[in-house]
Amino acid sequence: MPKMIFVNIPVTDVARSRKFFQALGYTINEQFSDPTAACVVVSDAIFFMILNHERFQGFATKPLADPAKGTGVLIALSQDSRDGVDQITAAALKSGGSEPKPAQDLGFMYSRTFNDPDGNVFEPLWMDPAAVQG
């Protein structure tokens, strides 16, 4: 079995968050979803489990942090192009997200930052494949 990542994300409104992530082009795996949670499919190996606060607390061993008031994690997601970075950010903004800072363009790497409606931070980025190869 290939390695996979499941990122658990606390949200205040699962239905709203489902719509938000679907507007970004992701699908929902209904097999692992119910009114308290939804499995957002990012790729064959990456999934976001959006969980209401009560459900999230069932997994957590520490108090729940409020992502609207502090940053607990930055979720960076590679995109296939600079345009892909702009497209996913535009979709996030159109669907209730916010952009807390301007784009960062280093030439070989381009990134933006958006918050989902709960304040969780996502950073889509594109890196020139030639820069990665050295």
CATH number assigned to the domain comprising residue 32 = 3.10.180.10
Residue 130, domain extent: 71-134
Tell which residue, 53, 55, 50, has the closest CA to residue 19: 50
Q: What is the pLDDT of residues 71-130, one digit of tens each?
A: 889 999 999 999 999 999 999 999 999 999 999 999 999 999 999 999 999 999 999 988
- pLDDT at residue 133 above 80? no
- Position 106 scores a pLDDT of 95
> Contact 55/64 with Cβ under 8 angstroms?
no
Cα torsion angle, 17, 20, 24, 26, sign: positive
The 10 Å Cβ neighbour count of residue 92 is 24
Domain end, chosen from 12, 37, 61, is at 61
Kindly state whether residues 96 and 116 are assigned to the same domain.
yes
Per-residue three-class SS string for 13-64: CHHHHHHHHHHCCCEEEEEEEECCEEEEECCCCEEEEEEEHHHHHHHCCCCC
- Position 130 scores a pLDDT of 85
Kindly state whether residues 18 and 52 are assigned to the same domain.
yes
Record the tokens describing residue 7, joined without a space.
């990122």
Q: What is the mean pLDDT of residues 31-36?
A: 97
Rounded CA separation 6/36 (Å): 16
Looking at the structure of the chain, the number of domains it has is: 2
Residue 41 — pLDDT band, cuts 50, 70, 90? Answer: very high
Rounded CA separation 5/121 (Å): 17
Residue 66 lies in a domain: no
Q: What is the pLDDT of residues 47-86, one digit of tens each?
A: 999 999 999 999 999 999 998 899 889 999 999 999 999 9
- Position 4 scores a pLDDT of 92
pTM of the model as a whole: 0.91
Between 134 and 25, the more confident residue is 25
- Position 134 scores a pLDDT of 58
